[in-house]
Amino acid sequence: DLDLPVYFFRDNDPTGEKAQQKLVEESTLCKQVPVMQVRYPKRLILDAKGNERPIKDPDELRPEEVDSMIEDARLLLPI
């Protein structure tokens, strides 16, 4: 089972984007197994001040959203 895809759930913010770029540039993971990038849903949530904002963190996702994201994932970088 070592060739099963890895699903990369990064934070949905600039720091998460930098981490993803670093993974692509510096890691050998993308060269060894399929790494799948998920796309966050468009749903808005309330922040601590009661303002609506996009989902930024995987722990803010509903279980059904995680399932949908896995089904809709795209290959991050061809191996």
Predicted confidence (pLDDT) per residue in 23-63, tens digit:
888 888 888 888 999 999 999 999 999 999 999 999 999 99
Q: Mean pLDDT across the stretch 63-71?
A: 97
Task: Please say whether the beta carbons of 8 and 37 come within 8 A.
Answer: yes
pLDDT of residue 27: 83
Please give the Cα distance from 61 to 40 (Å, whole number): 9
3-state secondary structure of 73: coil
pLDDT at 3 over 60: yes
pTM of the predicted protein model:
0.81
pLDDT value of residue 71: 97
Rounded-to-integer distance, Cα 45 and Cα 57, Å: 11
List of E strands, 1-79: 6-8, 35-37, 44-46, 52-54, 74-75
